[in-house]
Amino acid sequence: MFPRLFRDVFVLAAITFALSGSAAAQTGRVGGTVKDDTGQALKGATITAENPNASPNSFTATTDDKGRWSIIGMRTGEWAFTAQAPGFEAESIKMQVRTVGVPNAPLEFKLRKGAAPAASALGNLAAKDLQQELVAADALYNVQQWDQAIAAYRAILAKAPALSVINLQIAAAYRNKKDYDNAIAAYTELLKSDPNNDKAKIGIGMTNLEKGDITAAEETLTRAAEGANPTREVFYNLGEVKFAKGLVDEAAKYYEKASQADPSWGKPLLKLALVQLNKGDKDATLKALDRVIAADPTSQEALQAKTLSEQLTKK
């Protein structure tokens, strides 16, 4: 056991807070196009951007008549972008969004035709109107007018039930209100139309954790982790639940699985370093911090790892 262990933990927490505060002062823009596999622009396609660690943690946009879209206001970090259009298979792309320096590269989606949609997948809502209503709903969300945002999102869903992914935004707004039961209900509604949606499964698990029901959170995420194609986020968040329960070794197992699913992702590697720090193993902590830095030297996690490593080597 090396000295001042708990002081080091608080040092890292302070570093993390300071970095997140600095990032909050800057926002990034990402844009691009959505086309079909023949190169034709898709008008009225929906693009969602999600990052569970950002605030706001999700945005929605729609394409214009040339298939163009853009989202402004994102924080630095890794975001998952998903493009969807009635009659086409959805496509997702992960991207490290930056708020300073070189502009973010455009994202170009090419959607393949899927099962034929219902005759009126967008109901009575024209693509232009959809874009305007989504922008208005997102604006309410971004200024934390949760009830008004929820009402706006629900109004869109009433007109265009095919856009069930909007339930993610509704659930996020309820979570910000600390209305956990309605948040879970929104995630559950999305799972009715998209049973394999990992974002909804993770959302239910983490909402239960916020609610204080660790058992339900663990059960939900364990089922997702044992499913056919669990994502890195499922493993990572199950690790978070295990860590919250004090099951440090089990948490480490799931952080490691998350890292194996995406070796360049710094978040689970940083948590593995904290596991070693919690055990009081200085050498193992420093080795784990080196893994964080090697994975993506320009990431927020790498910056935190470098700072903590410097703190530890001074002792």
Angle at the Cα of 165 from the Cα atoms of 161 and 167, rounded to 5 degrees: 85
Q: How far apart are CA 188 and CA 208, in angstroms?
A: 13
Please state the domain extents for the chain. 26-117
Contact by Cβ (8 Å): 91, 82: yes
CATH H-level superfamily of 26-117: Carboxypeptidase-like, regulatory domain (2.60.40.1120)
Per-residue pLDDT of the chain (315 residues; tens, 9 = 90+): 444 444 444 444 444 434 444 433 456 789 999 999 889 998 888 888 888 777 677 888 888 888 899 888 788 888 989 998 877 888 888 888 887 666 888 999 999 887 444 434 455 555 667 777 888 888 898 888 999 999 999 998 888 887 888 898 999 999 999 999 999 999 999 988 888 787 888 889 889 888 888 899 899 889 888 877 788 888 998 999 898 888 989 999 999 999 998 888 888 999 999 889 888 888 999 999 999 999 888 888 888 899 999 888 886
Q: Which of 69, 73, 194, 220 is nearest to 131 (CA)?
A: 69
